[in-house]
Structures are given as C-alpha cells and as structure tokens.
Amino acid sequence: MSLSSQLKYLEELTTNAKQVQDNLLEEILRVNGNTEYLRHFLHGSSDKESFKKNVPVVSYDDVNPYIERVAKGEPSNVITGETITNFLLSSGTSGGKQKIFPVNNKYFEKMSFINGLCSSILSKYIDGVREGKVMTFLNTRPLATTPSGLPIAPLSTSFLMSDYFKNLPSKCYVSPDEVILCVDNKQNLYCHLLCGLVQREEVVSISAAFASYLVQAIQFLETHWNELCGNIRSGCISEWITDRGCRDSVSVILGGPNPELAYMIEHECSQKSWEGMITRLWPNSKFIQTIVTGQMSQYIPILEFYSNKLPLVSPRYASSETIFGVNLNPLCKPQDVSYTFLPNMSYFEFLLVDEANNDEIVELVNVKLGCFYEPLVTNNFGLCRYRMGDILQVTGFYNSAPQFRFVRRKGMVLSVNVEVTTEQDILKALNHAGLVLESSALMLMGFTCYVDISTIPGHYVFYWELKEKSFNGIVKLDKKVMVECCCVIEESFDVLYRKFRTKYGSIGALEIRVVAQGTFDSLMKYFITKGASTSQYKTPICIKDPQGLAILEDKVLARFFSDKSPPL
Ligand code: AMP
C-alpha cells in the first residue's frame, strides 16, 4: 500500500472502530464457533450477545491445556477454525513463565501492515525517512518444534522467517538478510555493527525492537570497536565470524581495505567520553526507533546520553497474543507516548481496574478518558477474552479509536507488608535517584529488585549495575551518594510504604547492592538459555527467579542502606 492509502485506511479504521470490531468478532465467531473450546460455552450459537454472556474471561492457565493439545498434534479445531502453522513463544521476562500462542500467516500479515503503517506515520513527521538506511538490530534464534512438528519461536524470529519478511519489496536495512537470519547472536550483532559502520553516511535511523537490546548493542560496540576498525582497515572479517552467509554477504559490503574510515572511527571511539557517540558515528541519523515505554523507560537516560538526545520513537505496542496499536505522534516525548488501538487487529474488551475491584467490562469504543484498564483479547487463533496482564490508561481518542498509555505489567510489584509498590512507582523512584547519580557522573546501566524477607523486618533490595560516564572509567562508589540514592528512592514511594517504614518499623531500610559490570548481560544470557529471545528480552523489574537471583548475588560488589526513615 502507498503512504497515502495507508494513512487513508487508518482514518477509515479509526472512524469506524465500532463497526470494524463488530465485524471482526462476527468473523472470529463464525470461524471458531465450532471449536471444542467455544462449543463448550456457546453450544452452537455464534452471536455477540451469547459470546458476552457465556464465554468466560480467562488467563493463560485456563487455555494452556487446549493449546498444549494442539501443540502435541491434535487438530487445530480444538481451539480455532484456522489452520495453525506456528507457535509464538512469549518472552516470559515481563512477569512470569514463558507461554506459547498458536498463530498462522494472518498474524504476520497484520504485522506487515503495522510495519508499513508505522513507516508511513514516521514519513509524515520526518523528511527523508524512506531515502536512507536503517541500522536495525534484528536477530533470530534457532526454531524449536512442537511434538507435532510446528515451529515454536519468539514473535520476532517467526516474523523474520516468514514469507512476509522474505518477500518485502524493498528493504532499507544496512545489513543483508544473511546477517538478520544468522541465529548466532554474537556474530549477528558484530556483523550488524560492521555493516552499519561501513555505511555510516547512509544511516538515517537506528532501531531495535526494545531499548534494552539497543543498549546492549552499544555496549558491544564499546568492547569491539577496535576489532571492527581492524576489519574495516584490512577489508577482512574476523576469523571467528564463521557463519558462511554472514562472511560472504558482509565481505561484499566491506568492499576492500578502508584505512581512512577505520582511522576516523577509531578516533571517535577512543575519546574519553562516549556522550553522543551515536550521532558522532552516524552523523545523518535523525531518530532512534525502539520501544522505551513500560519496563523499557529505564533505558531512556542511557539512550539520550549516547545519542545526544535524538528523538526516541516508540512505534507500536504488540505482543505474542496480538498487535494492539501504533503511536500516531512519533516525535512526542517518551513519557507522553500513547498507542492508538487498531480495531482490525483483534477483538478488544477492557476490564476496569479500580479500587472497588468491580468486574465492569467495556468495548473498545466505550472506554473512558483517564480510566485504567486491563485489555482482554479475542483473536483469530483461539484466545477468547484473554487477560493480557498489562495495565493501560486512556489518554484520548483518535476518531473513535481510544489511545492508551502503557502503565505497567500486572503483578510486577514489591510488597513486604500490605503496601503495594508497583512497577510504575519503582520507575518513578529510580528517576529521582537518577538525578543524584547524574550529579556524580554515573549512569545506571541495569537494575532489578526484590523483597528480601530473610531479614526481620523484610526490606526492598535493588541490584544496580553502574557505569562512569567517561569511557572505561572505573566506577568509584561514593558512599554518601549511594546512601542518598537509597533515601531518595524511599522518599518517593507512597504513603503506605513510608508509614510502614517510618511509623511502624515493619519495613527495613532499603538496600542497593551494586553489581559488577556485565552482570545484567549474564542475567540476560541466563534467561535466553531458558528460552527468551534476545530482541524480545526485557530485564525483569522485579525478580523472583532463584537462579536469576543467584547470578546477581554472585556479582555483588558493595551494599548500601538508607540511613534515615522517609518523611511521612
Ligand atoms: P512478548 O509476548 O514477549 O512480546 O511480550 C509482550 C509484552 O511486552 C506485552 O504484554 C507488554 O507487557 C510488553 N510490551 C510490548 N510492547 C510494549 C510497549 N510498546 N510498551 C511497553 N510494553 C510493551
């Protein structure tokens, strides 16, 4: 679709959101009404009223037995009238265990549409987006298969391996498909950077699905720029790049020896500070495209530091269950991002999240401004009224399609007593502590937290990986600064926390455990061996996994405690 027809279609979809949703539900019920799952509740009827009255709101555990049966080889119609061709593996790092979701090409078709739409939206705001190249850190991992022989892989891998990606009419990436499809993550990352550096003048944007991976790529560059420059100087790729596809295709891009370019990059990378390194190495880059909302907001200061505050564009909100929507205002501040739900993706309902805990469920077009909701997804592939576990807030409407701010993932909370400290509270508190760190030229590169109830009273523990702003600087920990950070975090928690801590003494002093550099990389690698994908990986804000905790504990360099009770 052309840019203008894509934007025209967006207008139609959002103007007729209710009709599009009703039609989609009708289609889903027509195709899936006769599945074992839905027959159980609908007894053959397939109208919207019966659906609303009889089909229960469910969580993964409720549908898992049905999904497992299809994975083990029973026909797809246990759960869907569609033919299932793939299973998507959720990252499982945004709160809980990994899950698998059945899909087929319809999902990838929607993904292609969304990718095109995001690019059209960007073109409206930024000139020349479609003229230059994108340095994108796409990667894949080896496919696993279900007992019935169907591929199981994270969304990104599944999409990249689908015909929709293969047959894209024009790819504007610096890296060839051979690099993108290389399942060895280290070789893949090295080659992406090599291709990006060689074509540095042409790069107009830098992207990765999630901000955490982009930060990882920059850190990889910090440790490999010397070797990359050596390759550019000689025109030969390092021996350890053994993947044939990568070697052959990247050699072509490398062209031949280029000592001037190698010298120029070496000169930049050996500067003491890496502030603005992205714009120094890629001088024509206009923006960074990566998700920086929700859990990813912790990476905003790091990306701003490396990019001299290039615009950070969070393009979409999507999951293995469904794609939800797009950001229609790509140049807004990361803190102001809202996603406009697209009514042709899945049938969406919303469970009101309020203190009274009432079970009110509303349709997409009936959500109310300012209210908090958890989305319920009914998709083509057998999920019906499925609780997403994400909490969103309505910030406005585009035509009649609502726009949502991503608030937090449900269940990601810390609690010693009856206080509930949410992911959002934690991120806010860290923002405040970040200001204290800023004044001492330190950057927070990674964090996670948990509640230590082995002490009496229990207390909150934060694991922090820190870095000096100047390149290769040894982190010097100033006790005063670190204790101040502990205090600032406590002060920004809500009144219940402060009461338990200060008045009743039933929460102990907050602790920061500083871990060695590279610890969060090891944590990621651990989750990846458990099945998470590199590009979909999200550092858990709160960690419960005992082995994950052991990795962190093993690398603790210093401990600091708040030394005063927060004021009430
Ligand atoms: P996965 O199924 O592994 O891709 O993880 C999907 C989850 O990632 C969602 O349910 C959200 O919690 C999170 N997520 C996806 N997109 C965004 C976004 N744009 N902003 C914040 N969180 C997101």
- Per-residue pLDDT tens over the stretch 468-519: 887 666 778 899 999 999 999 999 999 889 988 998 888 999 999 999 999 9
CA of 252 to the centre of ligand 1 (A): 36
The residue-averaged pLDDT of 56-60 equals 95
Q: Which of 310, 345, 360 is the last residue of a domain?
A: 310
Distance CA 42, CA 34 (A): 9
Q: Is residue 116 part of a domain?
A: no
Q: How confident is the model over 170-194, as pLDDT tens digits? A: 789 999 999 999 999 899 999 999 9
At 132 the three-state DSSP class reads: coil
Predicted pLDDT at 473: 66
Q: What are the backbone angles phi and psi of residue 276, rounded to the nearest 5°? A: 70, 20
- Is the CB of 146 inside a 6 Å radius of any atom of ligand 1? no
Separation of CA 239 and ligand 1 centre (Å): 37
Which residue, among 342, 280, 275, has the nearest Cα to 303 in the 3D structure? 275
How remote is the CA of residue 47 from the centroid of ligand 1, in Å? 31
Residue 29 scores a pLDDT above 80: yes
Q: Using an 8 Å Cβ cutoff, are 36 and 43 in contact?
A: no
- Residue 226: its H or E element: helix 211-234
Q: Are residues 400 and 381 in the same domain?
A: yes
| CB of residue 28 inside a 6 A radius of ligand 1 | no
Whether residue 95 sits in one domain with residue 176 = no
Determine the distance separating the centroid of ligand 1 and the alpha carbon of 89, expressed in angstroms: 13
What confidence score (pLDDT) does residue 98 get? 72
| Residues 19 and 34 reside in one and the same domain | yes
Q: Is 409 in the pocket of ligand 1 (CB under 6 A)?
A: yes
Do both 178 and 268 map to the same domain? yes
Residue 93 has pLDDT above 60, yes or no: no
Instruction: Report whether 323 contacts 340 (CB < 8 A).
Output: no
Taking the CA of residue 324 as reference, the ligand 1 atom at the shortest distance is: 16
119 within domain boundaries: no
Q: Do 189 and 300 fall into the same domain?
A: yes
Q: Convert the pLDDT of each residue in 398-438 to its tens digit.
A: 999 999 999 888 876 788 876 788 888 999 999 999 999 98
Instruction: Give domain status of residue 120, yes or no.
Output: no
Q: Which residues contact 331 (CB under 8 A, 6 or more apart)?
A: 125, 126, 287, 311, 313
Q: Which of 94, 212, 328 most suits a substitution to test ligand 1, by most atoms within 8 Å of the C-beta?
A: 94
The answer on 70 and 185 residing in a single domain is: no
Say what the pLDDT of residue 470 is: 76
Same domain, 245 and 327: no
Q: Is the pLDDT of residue 95 over 60?
A: no
CB of 539 within 8 A of CB of 212?
Answer: yes
Asked whether the beta carbons of 500 and 507 are under 8 A apart, the reply is yes
pLDDT at 264: 98
The string of DSSP letters for 297-337 reads: GGGHHHHHHHHTS--EE--EEE-SS-EEEE-S-TTS-GGG-
pLDDT above 70: residue 252: yes
2's CB contacts (< 8 A; 6+ apart) are none
| pLDDT at residue 540 tops 90 | no
Residue 128: predicted pLDDT: 85
- For 263-319, what is each residue's pLDDT tens digit? 999 999 999 899 999 999 999 999 999 999 987 887 898 899 999 989 999 999 999
> Rounded to whole angstroms, how far apart are CA atoms 523 and 552?
7
Question: How does the average pLDDT of the chain come out, rounded?
Answer: 92
Closest ligand 1 atom, residue 101 Cα: 2
**Of ligand 1's atoms, which has the minimum distance to the CA of residue 315?**
19
Q: Is 89 helix (H, G, I), strand (E, B) or coil?
A: strand
Read off the pLDDT band of 370 (50, 70, 90): very high
Residue 412 pLDDT: 65
Query: What's the DSSP call for residue 114?
Result: H
What letter would DSSP give residue 130?
T
Residues 451 and 552 grouped into a single domain = yes
**Residue 123 counted as domain residue:** no
Query: Do 304 and 322 belong together in one domain?
Result: no
State whether the beta carbon of 90 lies less than 6 angstroms from ligand 1: yes
Question: Which ligand 1 atom is at minimum distance from the Cα of 314?
Answer: 19
Residue 225's domain spans which residues?
Answer: 128-147+155-161+169-310
Chosen domain end from 356, 384, 409: 409
Which of residues 363, 383, 409 is at a domain's end? 409
171/559: higher pLDDT: 559
Cβ contacts of residue 467 below 8 Å, gap of 6+? 442, 443, 445, 473, 475, 517
pLDDT in the model for residue 90: 85
536: pLDDT strictly greater than 60: yes
Beta strands 203-210 and 287-291, pairing class: parallel
Q: What is the pLDDT of residue 250?
A: 98
Taking residues 252-261, report their average pLDDT.
97
532 CA distance to ligand 1 middle (Å): 13
The two tokens of residue 307 are 């990019």
Task: Determine, yes or no, domain membership for 49.
Answer: yes
Q: Which of 212, 191, 219, 232 is nearest to 278 (CA)?
A: 219
Q: Is 294 touching ligand 1 by the criterion CB < 6 Å?
A: yes
Cβ neighbours of 496 (radius 10 Å):
15
**CA–CA distance, 377 with 397 (Å, rounded to integer):** 20
Total domains, the chain: 3
What is the 8-class DSSP label of residue 239? T
Please check whether residue 435 lies inside any domain of the structure: yes
Residue 319 CB less than 6 A away from ligand 1? yes
Residue 536 CB less than 6 A away from ligand 1: yes
On whether both 389 and 428 belong to a single domain, the answer is no
Query: Which of 111, 291, 412 has most ligand 1 atoms within 8 Å of its beta carbon, as the pocket-test mutant?
Result: 291
* Distance of CA 112 from the midpoint of ligand 1 (Å): 18
Among positive and negative, which fits the CA dihedral 540, 544, 547, 552?
Answer: positive
How much distance in Å is there from the Cα of 318 to the middle of ligand 1? 6
Structure-token pair, residue 163: 């015909």
- Length in residues, the chain: 568
| pLDDT 10s digits, 438-454 | 888 889 999 999 989 88
User: Which token pair is 549?
Assistant: 């905790």
Token pair for 120: 């059209």
Q: What pLDDT shows up at residue 355?
A: 67
Task: State the pLDDT at residue 471.
Answer: 61
Instruction: Clarify whether residues 225 and 291 are in a common domain.
Output: yes
Q: Is residue 113 part of a domain?
A: no
User: Is 110 domain-assigned?
Assistant: no
Average pLDDT over residues 142-152: 91
Residues 458 and 375 reside in one and the same domain: no
pLDDT at 395: 98
Distance, in Å, from the CA atom of 245 to the CA atom of 440, rounded to the nearest integer, reads 46
